[in-house]
Chains A and B, each alone.
Chain A
Amino acid sequence: MTNPYVPVLVLMAVAAVLALGGVAASAVIGPKRYNRAKLDAYECGIEPTPHATGGGRLPIKYYLVAMTFIVFDIEVVFLYPWAVDFTTLATFGLVAMLGFLALITVPFVYEWRRGGFDWV
């Protein structure tokens, strides 16, 4: 039991079971009452664009969401290495990262105040 990879394997197995099991279970026991809305493509709750241009490719509106997503996604790129070497980087790293996070907050605040999150 000293192999360090055993917990990882266990974790992966649990993840697989949960993921596959969830899909399978809903397929088996879920009610199957279809209507038009349900048969439409799932587009994040927004009404699907009737005529997708370019032969069924994704409507361009969704790239808007992508943009917002990326702003918040990207901070992880820096957070992750910092987390890995948190101890070594010590106070300097902490302060630097706090500064970074503060800066990341600025566009967030901007977007929020400008109504960027008023989805509906």
Chain B
Amino acid sequence: MIPDFTAPLIDWAALAPLLVVLGAGVVGVLVEAFVPDAVRRATQITLALAALAATVVLIVLRWGLIVGSDGAPGVSDVLVGGTVMVTPFALALQGTIVVLAFLGALVVADRTSSGQDAFAPTAAAVPGTSYEDLARRAGLQQTEVYPLLMFATGGMMLFVATDDLLMMFVALEVLSLPLYVLCATARRRRLLSQEAAAKYFLLGAFASALFIFGVALIYGFAGTVRLIGDEDKPGVIRRVLSGDAPLDGMTVLVVAGILLVLVGLLFKLGAVPFHAWTPDVYAGAPTPITGFMAACTKVAAVGALVKVLYTLVVGLPPEVGEQLRTVVIVVAILTMALGTVVGAVQTDIKRLLAYSSIAHAGFLLVAVAGINLESLRAVLFYMVAYGVATVGAFGVVTLVRERTVVPGRADGADGEDGVVLGEATHLSQWAGLGRRAPWLTAAFALFLLSMAGIPLTAGFVAKFGAFGAAVAGDLWWLAVVGVLASVVAVFFYVRVIVLMMFTPPAEEQLLAGAEARAQEAATGTGDEAEAAEASSGAEPAGGGVATETRTEVARTVVTVVGSRGPAAVAIAVCAVATLVLGVFPGPVLELAGEAIKFVP
């Protein structure tokens, strides 16, 4: 059936970064199988971090080769017969993903001074059962997290480095499936975590089904799923232009296909109206995973999106390009508006950051809508700036916790007693954090300022570049809309900063927070509610449970747990990067400029 088969040439050296990460995932699974419990966690962490670090090195080496060579013979960016295409741009995206994944993994690895990581001892156990208790007491650990992280990272790296829509689909699944699982593994607030996973999974599967159907339509039209292709096997754009697509003339087929593919990408990016999963999943997932997901997935999604769009809009007939561009503009405006407006009324820090990420997706789309080399560059820088701020911000969130107060010390004094519970995510609990943990608060404020785009932070340079890209694409009015949205966005970031730094954590504040939490608990959000729920025979928490919970909640105070090192390192690196990129963005901008030299 295959008349003449020639084995594709495989440039193993060029594939090395990808293989190291995925290989580390495979080895991680074997580690799970064979390494004894006592050293398993240490082994997994070492393996994961070493693999990511090695990948960074490999990417840097490869960068020198393909950017420095100026297209020297023997150095090709088309690998495995075109299935993988590591252009400088893709390589830059990969590098960003891996570096952010490294920082994210550091946060994941931190057990904090409470001695527990963010993951359930056995995620499969039913919350509140004796089996779960047993697992907790036995000190079981869910170290599968690390191989899953590796697979997700590998999937993201492949996602941005392929010209082949099918491979993109496979990569999409390789990156998504581990994330679905990771979302379900939170140690506390298990119900929320599971819910997040279920929603993410169902919607993600739905979106990827739309994506692959789009691929099917494109295949039906063009007879290929490669976008650019090469001389022997021309891709979609070549076939459309040369008019030798099998179903030439049925343009509606290819446009519908491309739109569906875009939907899949916009879903991952969290753009309105495909954003609905974002707040729920970000809020429910274990916080370190949220940080990883928010940063790395977004890089992968927007990287793939900008690549596909740029290729198509430049390659296809102008009227098709104009249609696609209009779609992106409309989505960008919707996304910015919804992200900032709904973000402004959030009362939960994780949801707030989630809406912030939606808003950022909008700003990114402003850059993308420019559809020029400037937008590729702007997107690269924006992702670095946004990524470090996001990983850092969620890293800070992991350290702000609730703690039970031992009866008799209900004054909420800063005693070291009491059990550290989950994260104190309600905004009212963050009031006056500045006094309790000045450094942490300063770092968090810095990340928020960067997200708000205040000068001398990375976010400012990033937004500047993004809007500049839109202007370069003759979309100055879109840039104006973007600036307006940024102004509104500043409002909700500053609100949090003011809350942390200038609002005293007064007693009434504490009570108000407890009240709010009790309210939430009545609807079952808190882990206390969860405990209550599990004990009261798995009935969804009703009024009776709520009163019970109220007394319980009132006896918790907010505490800041110390990092065991990794998370602190990650937060510090992110903070320094945010500042340095704000003051000396030159080198990174230059790198980004080199990444777009050979398009795309």
- Residues in chain A within 8 A of chain B (CB atoms): 84-85, 88-90, 92, 103, 106-107, 109-110, 112-114
Smallest distance from the beta carbon of A87 to chain B beta carbons, Å?
A: 10
Chain B residue numbers with a CB within 8 Å of A103 are 26
- B484 contacts partner chain A, Cβ-Cβ < 8 Å: no
**Is there an interface contact between A110 and B1, defined as CB atoms closer than 8 Å?**
no
Tell me if A's interface is mostly helix, strand, loop or mixed.
helix
**Is there an interface contact between B5 and A88, defined as CB atoms closer than 8 Å?**
yes
Q: What is the 8 Å Cβ interface bit string for chain B, positions 489-505, against chain A (1 contact, 0 not)?
A: 00000000000000000
- B33 contacts partner chain A, Cβ-Cβ < 8 Å: yes
User: Besides the contacts A84-B1, A106-B30, what 4 more A-B pairs have beta carbons closer than 8 Å?
Assistant: A88-B2, A89-B5, A112-B33, A114-B32
**Is there an interface contact between A109 and B30, defined as CB atoms closer than 8 Å?**
yes
A110 to B148, CA, bound (A): 14
Chain B residue numbers with a CB within 8 Å of A114 are 32-33
How many B residues face the partner with a CB closer than 8 A? Answer: 10
Name the contact of A92 in the complex, choosing from B7, B26, B33 (C-beta under 8 A): B7
A109 to B35, CA, bound (A): 13
A113 to B33, CA, bound (A): 5
Q: What is the 8 Å Cβ interface bit string for chain B, positions 13-33, against chain A (1 contact, 0 not)?
A: 000000000000010011011
**Is there an interface contact between A110 and B5, defined as CB atoms closer than 8 Å?**
no
A112 to B32, CA, bound (A): 11
Q: What is the 8 Å Cβ interface bit string for chain B, positions 28-50, against chain A (1 contact, 0 not)?
A: 01101110000000000000000
Smallest distance from the beta carbon of A44 to chain B beta carbons, Å?
A: 20
A90 to B6, CA, bound (A): 10
Chain A residue numbers with a CB within 8 Å of B5 are 85, 88-90
Chain A residue numbers with a CB within 8 Å of B33 are 109-110, 112-114
Chain A residue numbers with a CB within 8 Å of B7 are 90, 92
Chain A residue numbers with a CB within 8 Å of B2 are 85, 88-89
Given contacts A92-B7, A113-B34, A114-B32, are A106 and B26 in contact (CB under 8 A)? yes
- Residues in chain B within 8 A of chain A (CB atoms): 1-2, 5, 7, 26, 29-30, 32-34
Name the contact of B1 in the complex, choosing from A85, A106, A112, A113 (C-beta under 8 A): A85
Q: Which of B30, B32, B33 has the most CB of A within 10 A?
A: B33
Taking CB as reference atom, which chain A residue is nearest B5?
A: A88
A110 to B7, CA, bound (A): 32
**Is there an interface contact between A107 and B32, defined as CB atoms closer than 8 Å?**
no
Q: Pick 8 A–B contacts, CB within 8 A, sort by A.
A: A85-B1, A88-B2, A88-B5, A90-B7, A106-B26, A109-B33, A112-B33, A113-B33
Chain A residue numbers with a CB within 8 Å of B32 are 110, 113-114
A109 to B29, CA, bound (A): 9
Chain A residue numbers with a CB within 8 Å of B34 are 113
A90 to B7, CA, bound (A): 9
Chain B residue numbers with a CB within 8 Å of A112 are 33
A106 to B26, CA, bound (A): 7
A2 to B5, CA, bound (A): 31
A9 to B82, CA, bound (A): 44
Smallest distance from the beta carbon of A23 to chain B beta carbons, Å?
A: 38
Smallest distance from the beta carbon of A108 to chain B beta carbons, Å?
A: 10
Taking CB as reference atom, which chain B residue is nearest A91?
A: B7
A114 to B124, CA, bound (A): 13
A109 to B32, CA, bound (A): 10
A74 to B5, CA, bound (A): 25
Taking CB as reference atom, which chain B residue is nearest A84?
A: B1
Smallest distance from the beta carbon of B485 to chain A beta carbons, Å?
A: 44
Taking CB as reference atom, which chain A residue is nearest B31?
A: A110
Top 8 closest A-B pairs, CB basis?
A92-B7, A113-B33, A110-B33, A88-B5, A110-B29, A109-B33, A106-B29, A106-B26
Smallest distance from the beta carbon of A9 to chain B beta carbons, Å?
A: 24
A89 to B2, CA, bound (A): 9
A88 to B2, CA, bound (A): 8
Chain A residue numbers with a CB within 8 Å of B29 are 106-107, 109-110
Taking CB as reference atom, which chain B residue is nearest A96?
A: B7
A90 to B29, CA, bound (A): 31
Smallest distance from the beta carbon of B290 to chain A beta carbons, Å?
A: 26
Smallest distance from the beta carbon of B37 to chain A beta carbons, Å?
A: 12
A92 to B8, CA, bound (A): 9
Chain B residue numbers with a CB within 8 Å of A109 are 29-30, 33
Smallest distance from the beta carbon of A37 to chain B beta carbons, Å?
A: 28
Taking CB as reference atom, which chain B residue is nearest A112?
A: B33
Chain B residue numbers with a CB within 8 Å of A107 are 29
Smallest distance from the beta carbon of B381 to chain A beta carbons, Å?
A: 37
Chain B residue numbers with a CB within 8 Å of A84 are 1
Taking CB as reference atom, which chain A residue is nearest B1?
A: A85
A84 to B26, CA, bound (A): 29
Smallest distance from the beta carbon of B65 to chain A beta carbons, Å?
A: 26
Smallest distance from the beta carbon of B24 to chain A beta carbons, Å?
A: 13
Taking CB as reference atom, which chain A residue is nearest B6?
A: A92
A85 to B2, CA, bound (A): 8
A106 to B29, CA, bound (A): 7
Smallest distance from the beta carbon of A64 to chain B beta carbons, Å?
A: 10
Smallest distance from the beta carbon of B222 to chain A beta carbons, Å?
A: 23
A92 to B2, CA, bound (A): 14
Taking CB as reference atom, which chain B residue is nearest A111?
A: B33
A105 to B555, CA, bound (A): 51
Smallest distance from the beta carbon of B35 to chain A beta carbons, Å?
A: 10
Q: Which of A84, A89, A92, A106 has the most CB of B within 10 A?
A: A106
Chain B residue numbers with a CB within 8 Å of A89 are 2, 5
**Is there an interface contact between B30 and A110, defined as CB atoms closer than 8 Å?**
yes
Chain B residue numbers with a CB within 8 Å of A110 are 29-30, 32-33
A112 to B30, CA, bound (A): 11
Smallest distance from the beta carbon of A83 to chain B beta carbons, Å?
A: 12
Smallest distance from the beta carbon of A96 to chain B beta carbons, Å?
A: 9
Chain B residue numbers with a CB within 8 Å of A88 are 2, 5
A92 to B6, CA, bound (A): 9
A27 to B32, CA, bound (A): 49
A47 to B34, CA, bound (A): 33
Smallest distance from the beta carbon of A76 to chain B beta carbons, Å?
A: 18
Chain B residue numbers with a CB within 8 Å of A85 are 1-2, 5
Q: Which of A84, A112, A113 has the most CB of B within 10 A?
A: A113
Taking CB as reference atom, which chain A residue is nearest B147?
A: A110
Smallest distance from the beta carbon of B43 to chain A beta carbons, Å?
A: 15
